[in-house]
Structure 1
């Protein structure tokens, strides 16, 4: 019988980059688009404190989501490896252990977040009416977080056995439900901010239901496991999940510091940053998708010892990143006044939106460079490099630049400082990625097939 050929080891690498990015971007566009529409509906209520409250609460939620991404990477990697070696029973066992571990971990973290929610929001800088709004919003979403994590993990299991279509539909259907319920709950039932939170909570249950149907009823993946099997599976789960979680936590840690500094300039400034925090992921969904798109292309060609194609993939991804960023910069420059008007932004919020759209959008190309570099590190058995560069950007790049930017230029300096951190570490990371490929090409040794390639996390979540 003819063995299937790795599809990415032949043909145009640019075509592979474009096709994979387009497929991945569809699901992300739906998910990020609903977040943006959510913010738009809240802006119609005419209170900038609502947008600021979502920014504060969203930072805490983002922290939990970042942890869950690391957990689902571990589940997906173990299931895929077992399935690829034709060990379906082991894949079912890893799936069950991964789901139990993900749900239990998120339950503990959500409980801690619930009991210390007031202190956490105050630490981020929330106060007064904005603090009350943020508490009401997060009190609805935090108990729902374990179900979101379970849904994301189930979708990862579906992807791991090659059913990307059903995995995507879980996100798409959940996002559509959210978009339909938002105006009904916010305006129809007159629930306001709480309505937006309840719409999100219901949509997460829908994601879980759709993903679970595909995982259990279609693919029959999970099975009953013993306590001994679960304990034994913790070692491979933690081997992959630990560096993945660490890599992902760099972004919310840096984002929390940025929000804390921005809070010094009032709710209007936080609202402006929160609005752009919802628009930017929609505008750059293709760049977020690019990070997960190039990984399989790089991995297959590295496994085939075709490092020239690996280098070509990196180069094409870098060109796509630069060209797409320039296009979005032009679009947001022309749409800046419309964005201010559509989201009813005034004062500092309006000024920050205009400043970002006119001068800072281009800096996202360096975020894209970091995403692509991290994807290459993860698939070339150097996930610790991705962790180092992510924390380097957050701690050495973003924190000091934001701090001094705030001292010298106010709220605009905070936004500009965040861009500076990305500029430095994005450039260095991409240079390091090309250097790593060159070294592997000189050695001309195929990479061993181990779990280390999946250990680094692909950064898909936007800063809040």
Structure 2
């Protein structure tokens, strides 16, 4: 299940990587910086959707692990309702805030103009993205990991076909890339809806009273999970706003670093959603030893994977920078990440494993606390000091070191949690 989740996430990030590569042929650093700023700040919407996905998948998988299929179906229906409402709300807040925020931080006029045009197209499709995420994870929670993978691949394949057409044939540039991404998300929902509703009938719609109760149960996990997930974009927004003070070249370089990081460490981003249902089902079945074994093996192999990826990035650092045709300080930023920052980033695997444990074993508040400590104490002073003493490269160094430190702290707390099965009260929080 981890491998199928990784394959689908790898495909998603590979297509985003290629999209930026196509934009690089325009040789316009303002466009590249705008797309990067938009994608990084829009992760606030994605984080809300991740929280709902974690809550819904955790309860559905537990119900299935306990053999209660009818309960799992009604929880799936409530999860989709909550996802639609949460994604709509998050998208509305984002659109209302992005213009005054970018004006307040003094974003370069060219970058800001491209950015506002870009997010006006992409943000409405965030609601579609959220529904697609939920459908995919309902399939994974029911043990259909391969079909869950194909749901996401439907969207990425659509974008992979459309991107070169809109860039090289239609000459639609950044806006063409934005519309292609929206069509890809519609394709994801189309296939996911057919599998979940038509083929497997995994969803029942609860009555009004039951819906309110189910929403409350899901929300007990989804809210802290969303707050935890929001910690990362909060840190990223502060960091990318700091990058913006160094000009379009650095913004373009930071965008490339973001896409390279996503692709290279795609396994990390899928860990909580991929191993969460496994932890939930084993906990529901009373298999505590399997819970600990899952965490131990996942931590070990994810860390080895990260160090291997960092080594490859260090070897090919100049070629990575050349691919995107970024010059000046932006190029220096890319090379520094590949040669040095990537090794610190390898430690982030421990953070994602710990978050999965906390969210699925009844300690969701731990996720929120550690996530926000990482986004504040692990980001603000490190990035500020890095910018003050090392410029744009110092910003990158500060962020990676701060994240690495709190990843170690997170796995240390996780180890204490795993010493014994959750208490009845803790278990009840995810029941």
TM-score by length of 2: 0.92
Aligned match of 2:249: 268
Residue 52 (structure 1) aligned to one of 33, 40, 51? 33
Q: Please provide the CA RMSD for this pair.
A: 2.4
Q: Following TM superposition, by how much is the alpha carbon of 1:167 offset from its aligned partner in structure 2, in angstroms?
A: 1.5
Unaligned residue ranges in structure 1 (runs of 5+)? 1-19, 455-464
What does 1:9-408 align with in structure 2 at a 5 Å threshold? 20-123=1-104, 125-295=106-276, 313-408=294-389
| Aligned pairs, number | 431
Task: Determine if contact 2:271/2:353 at 8 Å carries over to the other structure.
Answer: yes
Q: Following TM superposition, by how much is the alpha carbon of 1:305 offset from its aligned partner in structure 2, in angstroms?
A: 7.2
Residues 323 and 186 (structure 1), Cα distance of their counterparts in 2 relative to 1, 3 Å cut: same
Q: Following TM superposition, by how much is the alpha carbon of 1:90 offset from its aligned partner in structure 2, in angstroms?
A: 3.5
Deviates more, 1:98-107 or 1:139-148: 98-107
Task: Determine if contact 2:108/2:248 at 8 Å carries over to the other structure.
Answer: no
Residues 87 and 314 (structure 1), Cα distance of their counterparts in 2 relative to 1, 3 Å cut: closer
Q: Following TM superposition, by how much is the alpha carbon of 1:307 offset from its aligned partner in structure 2, in angstroms?
A: 6.2
Task: Determine if contact 2:5/2:145 at 8 Å carries over to the other structure.
Answer: no
Residues 389 and 184 (structure 1), Cα distance of their counterparts in 2 relative to 1, 3 Å cut: same
| C-alpha separation in 1, matches of 2:234 and 2:253 | 20
| C-alpha separation in 2, matches of 1:157 and 1:311 | 24
| C-alpha separation in 1, matches of 2:205 and 2:369 | 38
Task: Determine if contact 2:107/2:245 at 8 Å carries over to the other structure.
Answer: no
Residues 293 and 82 (structure 1), Cα distance of their counterparts in 2 relative to 1, 3 Å cut: closer
Task: Determine if contact 2:88/2:127 at 8 Å carries over to the other structure.
Answer: yes
Aligned match of 1:5: none
| C-alpha separation in 2, matches of 1:447 and 1:231 | 24
Residues 313 and 113 (structure 1), Cα distance of their counterparts in 2 relative to 1, 3 Å cut: closer
Residues 288 and 270 (structure 1), Cα distance of their counterparts in 2 relative to 1, 3 Å cut: same
Residues 247 and 412 (structure 1), Cα distance of their counterparts in 2 relative to 1, 3 Å cut: same
Secondary structure of 1:46's match? coil
Residues 213 and 398 (structure 1), Cα distance of their counterparts in 2 relative to 1, 3 Å cut: same
Unaligned residue ranges in structure 2 (runs of 5+)? none
After superposition, give the CA deviation of every residue in 1:145-175 in whole Å (9 maximum; x if it has no partner). 1111112122222223222222111101110
| C-alpha separation in 2, matches of 1:349 and 1:104 | 39
